[in-house]
Amino acid sequence: MKKRMLTAAFAGLLALSMALAGCGGGQETQQSANNQQSQQPAPAAEPAQTGPKQLIVGRGGDSVGLDPITVTDGESFKVTENIFDTLVSYEEDNTNVVPGLAEKWEVSPDGLTYTFTLRQGVKFHDGTDFNAEAVKFNFDRWMDKNNPLHNKEGFEYYNDMFGGYKGDETHVIKSVDVVDPYTVKFTLNRPLAPFLQNLGMSCFAIASPTALKEMGPEKFNEHPVGTGPFKFVEWKRNDTITLEKNPDYWQKGYPKLDKLVFKVIPENTARLTALTSGEIDLMDGLNPDDAQTVKDNKDLQLILRPSMNIGFVGFNVEKKPLDNPKVREALAYAINKPAIVESFFAGLGQPAVNPLPPSIWGYNSDIKDREFNLDKAKELLKEAGYPNGFKIKFWAMPVPRPYMPDGVKIAEAIQQDFKKIGVDAEIVTMEWATYLDKTKKGEQEIFLLGWTGDNGDPDNFLATLLDKNNIGGNNRTRWANEEAHKLLMQAQSATSKEEREKLYKQVQEIIFKDVPMVPLAHSTPALAAKANVINYKPHPKGSESLEKVDIQQ
């Protein structure tokens, strides 16, 4: 009797576990068959071999919004780049400006008028025409606070890049005028050297005026309409954003894919598992430690994104003894950049020489970096009058950033080397907002920080981080070098790129000699993809349009 009951209970358990396993068991055969051919794991996706080509991109976070002017985050731009186009664009692997929706342009000698000739026959996804009116409509929306489609919070990037809004003293764009249906003229209040460079930023994408007016900005932010290679289909928040091919795209023969899906998988390891098991085709945010695993797997490929950031050790030049350039140089000799890149960036980065990343034009490749040399460092300290070193506070950031994977550990590594030259550095860290606030006010001595580029213009790195006008802002070294300031100001108002390039190269020399900061590394974010994904070219600015990407079948 007892025995029978036990058997019955067991049978119940067994039946349950069979039911659980059964769900998976049936799929096994289908999947292994699929996996050998097309890496399509879901049974329902079987027709994909002959049917539509789709690319599923796994990423760590969801987009904030899909109206590009309202957002500032990379996860949003990754999607909007595929839905929208900008007037000008960048080359595939650097930030040189090339034509986009504008075929060509003319700049007046005084740098105050830009006349763009627009591409003809381009249509928005809602079927309306792209023309000069559409360009004017978008710029009027962005620049005029009284425009009904202007957001009440403003447009952060417009404000930053074009000196505020209409009516503000520093506002750059005086007016945007329609000359004829395919010619649009920008008149500026003052010359702005990076003007074209700015226009290429993902946020200054041209939206369909009709769709914007019909939906209003809030709905448009969730149902974007542009001219880009893919059309918006659906957004499931924190899960997927689905786009489909725009068959009328103005670049003939593109896009290659029929469907493009962005899927959020927050955990880096789980994302790699999903890639390995074929649930997604491409992922970003690969753990540096997993790079080798990807390289060893013949079904996968590793893709490196060129860097557009800088992580640095800054010196507050107002604090003793950091006011002495010799001391700063000595410390620069005592920082072992290659070792730091190797151990903390897992090799996915390059030691930095200049504050400017090499992917940006104007980079001075003639400057040869100081080698790691503790004897030389000691010697310089002696010359500076500190033969026995000194005590100092070393501020380390509390949060990981793309340009600085682990601030405190990197500071500790540098601290060890500083000790060898007699410099006793005490590591200080605090909550992130406080850290930013206090370093802005100049309370720090030595500190770690970094910067990620906005528009790929040298000004966005060199002036932002080191011009004396930005002390109290992003120039946290408080370096107020008159010579550099003069050159940076000249470069801001010069219109010829050659001239600006020359000026920026000079500025980098001054920075290198006077050492207000020691550039540590430019990190190169890693992506991984199925081996059959071709023509994926990651752009240094962090997001790219995928019209050329294809899947080999």
Partner 1 sequence: MALLSYTIRRILMLIPVLFGMSIVVFSIIHAIPGDPALTILGERASAKAVEELREALGLNQPWYLQYFHYLKDILTGNLGVSLHTKVPISQEIGPYLAATAELTVFSMLFAIIIGVNAGIISAWKQNSWFDYIAMLVALIGVSMPIFWLGLMEQWLFAQELKWLPSVGRDSTRDPVMAITHFYIIDTIIAGKWDQLRDVIDHLILPSIALGTIPMAIIARITRSSMLEVMRSDYIRTARAKGLGQFFVIYKHALKNALIPVLTVIGLQTGLLLGGAVLTETIFGWPGIGRYIYTAIGNRDYPVIQSGILVIATIFVLINLLVDLLYAYVDPRIKYR
Query: In the complex, which residues of this chain contact partner 1 (CB under 8 A)?
Result: 1-2, 5-6, 8-9, 12-13, 16, 20, 23-25, 27-28, 31-32, 35, 40-45, 48, 54, 56, 61-62, 64-65, 70, 153, 160, 218, 221-222, 234, 236-240, 242, 261, 263-267, 269-271, 273-274, 276-277, 279-280, 431-434, 436-437, 474
Q: List, in sequence order, every residue forming a beta bridge with 525; answer none if it has no partner.
A: none
Cross-strand pairs, 176: 186
CB-based contacts of 494, cutoff 8 Å, min separation 6: 193, 500, 503
Give the total residue count for the chain. 553
DSSP helix/strand/coil, 454: coil
| Nearer to partner 1 (CB atom), residue 43 or residue 387 | 43
Is 351 or 542 the residue whose CB approaches partner 1 more closely?
542
Q: Is the dihedral of CA 247, 256, 209, 174 positive or negative?
A: negative
Q: What's the min distance (Å) between Cβ of 45 and partner 1?
A: 4
- The nearer residue to partner 1, 475 or 508, going by C-beta atoms, is 475
Residue 306's nearest CA partner among 451, 94, 90 is: 94
H/E stretch holding 527: strand 526-530
CB of 345 to partner 1, least distance (A): 21
Q: Which is nearer to partner 1, 94 or 474 (CB)?
A: 474
Task: Report how far apart, in Å, the C-alpha atoms of 193 and of each of 115, 266, 493 are.
Answer: 15, 39, 5
Closest CB to partner 1 among 15 and 179? 15
Q: For residue 433, count CB atoms less than 10 angstroms from its CB and return exposed for 0-12, middle for 13-18, buried for 19 or more.
A: exposed
- Least separation in angstroms between CB 276 and partner 1: 5
Nearest to 352 by CA among 313, 395, 410: 313
Is residue 292 left, alpha or beta, with left meaning phi > 0 and alpha meaning psi from -120 to 50?
alpha
Quote the least distance from Cβ 10 to partner 1, whole Å. Answer: 8
Nearest distance from C-beta of residue 478 to partner 1, angstroms = 17
Between 416 and 434, CB nearer to partner 1: 434
Nearer to partner 1, 131 or 439 (CB): 439
CB of 125 to partner 1, least distance (A): 20
| Residue 244 phi, psi dihedral angles, 5° rounding | -125, 165
| Helix boundaries (H) for 252-290 | 268-276
Pairing of strands 282-283, 54-59: parallel
Closest CA to 151 of 227, 68, 78, 52: 68
| The two structure tokens encoding residue 436 | 């930013």
Provide the minimum distance between the beta carbon of 217 and partner 1 in the complex, in angstroms, as a whole number: 9
**What b/e string do you get for 3-15 counting C-beta neighbours within 10 Å, with b at 16 or more?**
eeeeeeeeeeeee
* CB nearer partner 1, residue 416 or residue 553: 553
Distance of closest approach, residue 169 Cβ to partner 1, in angstroms? 14
